Structure 1
């Protein structure tokens, strides 16, 4: 195994030169990506409708092609799902990544082309490992298996007799992995793609608990559920008693900060490493390339052309849109992507703040529809996660999930507030103290919130409820949203979600 480990480490390091190239030549690489996407799609229905034959430069593109969200782009996707080809991309589309999004109860189907699988999703996985082995040359990663929690697959709902299939992006990726990658992972493909989530966790636990697992890839929330079940089955105190060679957790989808203390308890080793990724149904966008930083490297040679909307422009009828070359450090931007998966000027709903432009590194700051701004406080997910993480650090508490929404004025004499429901893995000694610490941190990181909280001018201190264990999982199950691609909405400007959750607590 040592020989294989050395060989695989050498293989993965071979990609580093290309990563360094786009690090040092970001604008040139983006221009090449842009021209390649336009040239490939000139004769598609979309290309003809929006006059790709007239597009010579980015300025032409920005004038001729409108901005799209899922609802406005859906007619193109649905036409493709019925079996019509060459609509949004020239090659055949046989896969669709199913996602509910985080603010919509309806399913979204994102096209996945052969090019986006190979040049984006798979490349992201390879680069994740390449950067890891470069940062940690002493790794024994390839002496064991990688545990990954997959999604589920189903028939194409608009053409069930056709060959195209749909499912969580993780399931689409797993189904198409090469044989060598299948051998290197656990559990079996059959188990990984099971549809019934509770049974799937049980079978995954029993299949993987006797393997030599050296790495885990997945969403923190569902990984915790799996690890806790394995500890129960093995009657172990911590996961290193089960997998002594475990060395890294590749995580994404939700911010890791609020879960850090819980993972330290589950995996009590200073040598355990954590590496963040930013991948979604629409593409693979970022990887933590520095071991002791929470910044992500923007991935630029993945068949994705990036544009950005400054958040102060977001609600305007014709918002200002800028290319990568014009972004500024520290500003909050909504992301637009044009991809080799057939998406064009598409709003993915995420917001980022750049921390560097040489190279382009960033942090995920939240969602365009995932915020609370009921009183002009403009609290975004980044603020909420900072507050939760701070309160956990100060009290030793550990959480598994949370959501928050506003409490609106009841009359002219009342004050507003933010109401939180937090599911703890380890409760603080005092919920009141935890709430005060959260409130304190929110005031520190968000001046608008602080202004509204000044002398309880518009907002009183936040209201905190401790949810019973398993509540959020039960809520997701009730809505038919159990699975790796479904996440609890962190913040909402309406009370739709929190009222449903509070009702389940009665």
Structure 2
């Protein structure tokens, strides 16, 4: 065992000891954070506008602070971007994480001197909890790659701006820098395909032990490595590759293909980072769910997803949540986001400790006919059948077809890129439809009532989603394909890739 691996074990034990202190008292930790956030922000413009000085408890907070998305906070964010201090949080942010919004165009998410360390600590602790639980630490002696956005930052009114992953690259601890790939010169390449080609060139002959990134883009990296080595498995190229860290999307649709590309089973850690804050990570290889970070400068609120669009939805603090309920996630952070609806939905799978699974996006659903089908349901319906029949899925998305050209009943149209095709696509489609009916009673009623016909699967060409994302300027980085949409924009863009 190398020096770094040996040193990491007592460091991991100490980190877990610290985590356990708040993990067992998560509700109390959340109450303390809320009080601290209010105290630190009561002299800001937002704090004055929302009478923070009068807030004594969570009930007062809910009365004073509305739930809002980026559009709701944008007037305040615009003032911060213009260079004004003490608007949402004390002083000015260290950074703006630049993200793409569907209605706002570019979004600027503030990162403060208080919030930035929490991102780094959470990423570090995800690895340390793994080391502490498994005793496996040899990977820290090998090379590590983090597939991420460019670390090049721009400056606006004295504040650095970049993609979150690029900003985080500036905060990688010194003890990891020598092990870390790709090089800065490669990392700053903006064109994703060119960048992945360069990463392949840099890593092909290295001792890669840890690989991290969003699954579809990691798969792209694996495919290029395999092409370069005449079809060699990733586990054969990197003999000591033993840990895969991922986040950003549900891994399950990609698991079979990634494991096939590697050629053997390896351990993995799921993380839930966002520009708005590092929310959770998998802290155990044995138990399901992601540990909600209750002591990381974020006060969480939860709205039952089926109430989200109500005028006055129920808002719950951590101590009030129940298991297996779909909640829209709301954040209040030490970077100045208040009542901020991040757009994700989560379910609690444990309350001791508090663990979640990410179930989808509040805006990603199909309810063209009142069925309100969500991402979790379509993923589970497709994957349950695919796993049973040993069919590999590369990528997929679903949209409603309200006005079929043949004047038949409307239906849900599934666009699927298969790695291995079903022998009988019609039978496969029927099984997926039956699985979805079991998961969503409203969808079942619409099929039974002859309002909808069963779903139709369109088989897409190889690399259809990669080519579509490339055509939209969204290839690589933090970009993700939505699992389902209530409109036809994505579906219409994919029609040219259908295999007829």
Same fold (TM over 0.5): yes
Q: Does 1:266 align with 2:261?
A: yes
Tell me the distance in 1 between the aligned counterparts of 2:4 and 2:174.
Answer: 16
Residue pairs, 1:135-284, within 5 angstroms: 135-152=133-150, 162-270=157-265, 272-284=266-278
Tell me the distance in 1 between the aligned counterparts of 2:145 and 2:467.
Answer: 25
Tell me the distance in 1 between the aligned counterparts of 2:159 and 2:328.
Answer: 31
Tell me the distance in 1 between the aligned counterparts of 2:2 and 2:397.
Answer: 46
Tell me the distance in 2 between the aligned counterparts of 1:237 and 1:231.
Answer: 5
Q: Which residue of 1 aligns with 2:90?
A: 90
1:114–1:191 CA distance, 2 compared to 1 (3 A): farther
* TM-score (structure 1 length as normaliser): 0.94
Contact in 2 for aligned 1:395/1:429 (Cα 8 Å): no
Contact in 1 for aligned 2:365/2:486 (Cα 8 Å): yes
CA RMSD of aligned residues (A): 2.0
Task: Kindly state the Cα deviation for residue 469 of structure 1 after the two structures are TM-superposed.
Answer: 1.7
Residue pairs, 1:312-331, within 5 angstroms: 312-331=306-325
Task: Kindly state the Cα deviation for residue 237 of structure 1 after the two structures are TM-superposed.
Answer: 2.0
> What are the ranges of 5 or more consecutive residues in structure 2 without an aligned counterpart?
none
> What are the ranges of 5 or more consecutive residues in structure 1 without an aligned counterpart?
none
Q: Which residue of 2 aligns with 1:77?
A: 77
Q: Which residue of 1 aligns with 2:446?
A: 452
Could you tell me which of 300, 303, 308 is aligned with 1:309? 303
1:139–1:426 CA distance, 2 compared to 1 (3 A): farther
Task: Kindly state the Cα deviation for residue 443 of structure 1 after the two structures are TM-superposed.
Answer: 1.8
Residue pairs, 1:349-498, within 5 angstroms: 349-409=343-403, 414-454=408-448, 457-498=450-491
Q: Which residue of 2 aligns with 1:32?
A: 32
Tell me the distance in 2 between the aligned counterparts of 1:292 and 1:485.
Answer: 28
Tell me the distance in 2 between the aligned counterparts of 1:413 and 1:499.
Answer: 18
Task: Kindly state the Cα deviation for residue 67 of structure 1 after the two structures are TM-superposed.
Answer: 1.5
Contact in 2 for aligned 1:174/1:189 (Cα 8 Å): no
Contact in 1 for aligned 2:84/2:92 (Cα 8 Å): no
Pairs aligned (count):
499
The Cα offsets for residues 46-95 of structure 1, whole Å up to 9 and x where unpaired, read as 11111111112111111111221011111211221122222111143131
Moved over 3 A (4+): 153-156, 160-163, 409-414, 503-506
Tell me the distance in 2 between the aligned counterparts of 1:388 and 1:193.
Answer: 37
Task: Kindly state the Cα deviation for residue 435 of structure 1 after the two structures are TM-superposed.
Answer: 1.6
The Cα offsets for residues 168-209 of structure 1, whole Å up to 9 and x where unpaired, read as 211111123232232232111332232111111111111111
Q: Which residue of 1 aligns with 2:110?
A: 111
Task: Kindly state the Cα deviation for residue 265 of structure 1 after the two structures are TM-superposed.
Answer: 0.8
The Cα offsets for residues 424-475 of structure 1, whole Å up to 9 and x where unpaired, read as 2333333223322321221222222222222x62221111111112221222
Tell me the distance in 2 between the aligned counterparts of 1:251 and 1:335.
Answer: 20
1:504–1:225 CA distance, 2 compared to 1 (3 A): same
